Chain A
Amino acid sequence: MSELVASVVIGFKDWGLDRLQRCITSVQGSFAEVTVEVIVSDYGSLEGEPVAAAAAEAGARYVRTETDGTWSRSRALNAGFAVARGQQFFATDADMIFTPGALASVSRRLDTNPREAIILQCRDLPPDVAEVPVADTDWQRYERAATIRPRWGMGGLVATHREVFHALRGYDERMHTYGGEDIDFGKRLRRFGVPINWLDQPHIRMYHVWHPSSRLAATLDEAAEAAIGRNRRIHVNDLTTARNRTLSQIAEPRAVPLVSVVAQADRPAGVLRAELSNVLGQSVRDLEVLLVDTGGDGTIVAQQLNDDRVRVVPPPAGGWWHALAQASGTYSILHAPGSWHAPTRLETLLDHTAQRHHMPADAFVTAVATDNGELLPLPAREDAARTSPWSSLLLPTATVQSLLRTFPQGGTDPGDLVVGLLRNGLSVTPVLAPAGAQVLEEGVVSELMLDDMARSAQKLAWRLRAGNLPDEWLFAKPAPAAAREVVRSAQQLMNDQVDLVVWSSDDDVLESLERMADQDTAIHRCEVSDPSGERLMTLLKVAGLSGSLGRALRSQAASSILAGTTRIDTLQDDGEVTGDSSVRWMIEEYSRLYGGDPETAVWVVVRAAEAGAVGRAVQEMERLADVTVVLHRVVHDGTGAPQHVALGLVSAISSSLRSLLSVRASVSQSASVHLWLGQDCDTSLQELAVTSA
């Protein structure tokens, strides 16, 4: 057998090198002919080198995690499994030893049962049984001397399949100090649909080597006792299946994404790209986007997003239907056109997952985007169902796929899917937090269209009522204050712009960034060379990148940052300039970014304490033909008080005074309006104050 079958991870921290080596040797012997790797995950031993040497001597791999001294078995095991290459995952401890061939039997059992987890009955050795080398072990004596533990909880060994471990996202990394990790993992296995098999046969034996009780020691320590209580509360109260959803030591990419997002490429590429970059910027990064190429721009959009989590699905009959059948995430969600998801939307939905048949559902607020980019929430009628209810549901992918196979002709109406799921016994768990805003363009909204949408939403409610199925979740609406807040957040997401400086020698990162740029983005590129002329790195200054793309870029470049080849600095994020940055500094930076030549850039600069005054200046600048770039930023002065600044880049110095006067006329007396004439001008001319007179 050439392919590695099993990976065994032993979490370890200063528990005796002889004991560790004995465990490793017994594990290897216990697998017999089955190919296995043993990984010692050293979680904060005082000195790593002796542990690494002991592991290597016994034929095990070694990984080390530096810690603050706190022991966490969960994190230790996850760190080990992050580098594991086997198809079966075995978690055990350094104080366990196994009879020859026992683990080979467990492995064969897993091999023939693709959805099962195996636990072994633990037998405790008494203190007087000497720890002799495995080769010299008298197994019959062990069998006579050992006492069987009550069959309760878990521990000692948990074995399952690689993809199951990944679907659960490993052990819960919030747990530390002592206890609860295996019980929690076992409960989640069951919620995932995996039965637990206590495999107990005469030739399969696992012995626990005696040592002073860790549990007893922990009870003597107040902090440890508190940690044990906390671990217990996690496994008792947290009913979710997948853990470590936003932060984990488990290496990317995962074998199984947590969520599949299905979207249709049936709208202009620019619009779709912005929406999908919003999805990719979710706090849950472990997702895939299935882009159904119904409009033909899917491949282009995917290339522009340049994110390996995006997969284009060719469009046979059935669009999203077909994509759902191909989804590999544990959960799936349908993206409704025009949806702006709150950045933590998927995280919130996943927080509400529990038993397999429960589908969490949140609610979108419908809003209209006016011509000047403002979002106005549509007044919701009391009796109106939500407009795209199917996009509110977090769907269990495997169950959905079973259901889809029963639709002989496929389908086009996502309502059929919702009705089918509820009719077959699934239920909806309403989530009160609003999901985001579904945005309609002002130009296309009419009373007729709104009526159509309301009727379409009501139709689903009628169908559910006709089948005696629950429909009240369709009418659950966020509180008005929450709705206003979510529309405000969506507005911010849509307008969100980020200015970055990227230092990189990685051409892929640079090209990716340049592909992401659109007409609203300015890129200034400088090559940095050594004295011999050889390129060392490239400096990209980027302004006006959409916030979600900026976040996606940061995540994407994270590995490059760690590798030391790429660094991303934020000049301004979300329109805020913090620290002691001066307006002068900011203008100089923007001159380099937008003007190409900072020596000759000419700007109209408006400063005011109120956003409204600067907003009017921005509107006026956008109207002027000679102003090519308009920016609105908030500067915090030394006292922390915000000052609003509007900047307009004037294309020619000859028109600068005319632009200045137009802007001056549009704003209140309290606002100051200046002309910035570039650095090559006489210093006295750089800031020319123009009074209302």
Chain B
Amino acid sequence: MKFSMQVDLERTVISTVPGEFDGDPPVPHLDIGLPLDGIASADRLAVGLALIYSPWLSGPVEFPEAVSALTAQRISEFFGERFVTVTGIADRALPIPRGVGDVLVVDLALRSRPPADERALCLAPLSQAQGTVSFGQQLMVASNVHLLTGTPSTGLHTLGLAIVLAECADANILVHPSADNVPPALNLLLESVGLGLTQE
């Protein structure tokens, strides 16, 4: 799968071109209501996309930007027996952003917004909102990631988007329902991009 990214003043569109062994995702692009051109971490973008598109990835994968060798290795290990290899490895060290504390990841398709004083990254479906709203301790970003749920849904699509947006939310640890039962390879994957995962 080959990913490419277009950013304008209001949103980011990440397009996909499936390769020889990938399954076709339900929609051809990920539409995020936030311009991501200021993001420092290509690794987090790659890890987030790998999780969101994990139901369909197989074979070579090329992310919008080159990723570090460790992250590429951890992505391959995450897919286990399904052969996934990352092309486009950076020839220099990539920075790992450092956030501050826990941020609750809230899927607004499943539950309502928490109280305004709670640190949260709220993921809104495009049927409810568009763009980005930042208020108090919270950042609400609209996207179409809800259409990229696998069968059956594992929650990895919202976790993946939260990883992409973690730097915007200044997160160090993501509080996400999927933390209940994650394979060790997922924790290692998050570690490679300086993030932790815990349950609410």
Residues in chain A within 8 A of chain B (CB atoms): 109, 113-116, 189-201, 355-357, 396, 398-399, 402-403, 405-408, 416, 420, 423-426
Judging by beta carbons under 8 Å apart, are B151 and A398 in contact? yes
Q: How far is the CA of A405 from the CA of B127 in the complex (A)?
A: 10
- Give 5 nearest A-B pairs by CB, closest first: A406-B125, A425-B27, A195-B58, A195-B23, A424-B144
**A195 and B21 contacting across the interface, CB-CB below 8 Å:** yes
- Looking at the complex, which one of A113, A116, A189, A399 makes contact with B26 (CB distance below 8 Å)? A399
A-B contact pairs, 10 of them (CB 8 A): A109-B81, A190-B21, A193-B23, A193-B24, A193-B56, A195-B82, A197-B21, A396-B26, A402-B146, A408-B128
The one of B22, B81, B146, B149 in contact with A195, judged by C-beta atoms closer than 8 angstroms, is: B22
Residues of chain B contacted by A189 (CB below 8 angstroms)? 23
Check A420 against B22 for contact (C-beta < 8 Å): no
B28 within 8 A of A: yes
CB distance from A671 to the nearest CB of B (A): 62
- A406–B81 Cα gap in the complex (Å)? 33
Return chain A residues, CB-CB under 8 Å to B125: 406
How long is the Cα–Cα vector from A425 to B24 in the complex, in angstroms?
A: 14
Q: Which residues of A contact B28 (CB under 8 A)?
A: 355, 357, 425
User: CB-CB < 8 A to B133: which residues of A?
Assistant: none
Contact, CB under 8 Å: A356 / B152: no
Q: Across the two chains, which residue of chain B brings its CB closest to A426?
A: B27
Residues of A within 8 A of B57 (CB): 195
Residues of chain B in range 123-162 having any CB-CB distance to chain A below 8 Å? 125-128, 144, 146-147, 149-152
Tell me the smallest distance from the CB of B111 to a CB of chain A, in Å.
Answer: 10
Q: Bound state CA distance, A80 and B38, in angstroms?
A: 57
CA distance A420 to B27 in the complex (A): 13
Q: Is B18 an interface residue (CB 8 A)?
A: yes
Classify chain B: how many residues form its interface, as a range: 20 to 34
Q: Judge whether A402 and B149 touch: CB under 8 Å.
A: yes
User: Contact between B81 and A190 (Cβ–Cβ < 8 Å)?
Assistant: no
Whole-angstrom CA separation of A405 from B151 in the bound complex: 14
Q: Which residues of A contact B24 (CB under 8 A)?
A: 190-193, 355-356
Instruction: Provide the residues of chain A in CB contact with B147, threshold 8 Å.
Output: 399, 402-403, 424-425
Asked if B196 is an interface residue, CB under 8 A from chain A, the answer is: no
Check A200–B83 contact: CB distance below 8 A: yes
Contact A194 B23 (CB under 8 A): yes
* B57–chain A nearest beta-carbon distance, Å: 6
Complex Cα–Cα for A423 and B126 (A)? 7
Given contacts A424-B31, A424-B126, contact A199 B109 (CB under 8 A): no
Neighbour of A115 across the interface among B127, B144, B151, CB < 8 A: B151
Besides A190-B22, A403-B146, 12 other A-B contacts (C-beta < 8 A): A115-B55, A116-B82, A195-B22, A195-B55, A197-B21, A356-B24, A398-B26, A402-B146, A403-B127, A406-B109, A408-B128, A423-B144
Question: A200 vs B25: C-alpha distance in the bound complex, in angstroms?
Answer: 25
Nearest opposing residue in chain B for A417, CB measure: B127
**Given known A-B contacts A196-B21, A197-B81, A402-B147, A420 and B127 have beta carbons under 8 A apart:** yes
Does A356 lie within 8 Å of B151, measured CB to CB? no
Residue of A nearest to B21 (CB): A196
Q: Is the CB of B26 within 8 A of A402?
A: yes
Which residues from A are CB-within-8-Å of B55? 115, 193, 195
- Complex alpha-carbon distance, A190 and B18, angstroms: 9
Q: Which of B27-58 contact A (CB under 8 A)?
A: 27-29, 31, 55-58
In the bound complex, how far is the Cα of B150 from the Cα of A109, in angstroms?
Answer: 17
Closest A residue, CB atoms, query B148: A402
Interface string of B103-123 (1 = CB under 8 A from A): 000000100000000000000
Alpha-carbon distance between A426 and B28 when the two chains are bound, in angstroms: 8
Residue of A195, A198, A201, A416 most packed against chain B (CB within 10 A): A195
Docked complex Cα distance between A246 and B18 (Å): 30
Give the chain A neighbours of B56 by CB distance below 8 A: 193, 195
Q: How many angstroms between the C-alpha atoms of A198 and B128 in the bound complex?
A: 40
Residues of B within 8 A of A113 (CB): 82
B136 to chain A, nearest CB (A): 22
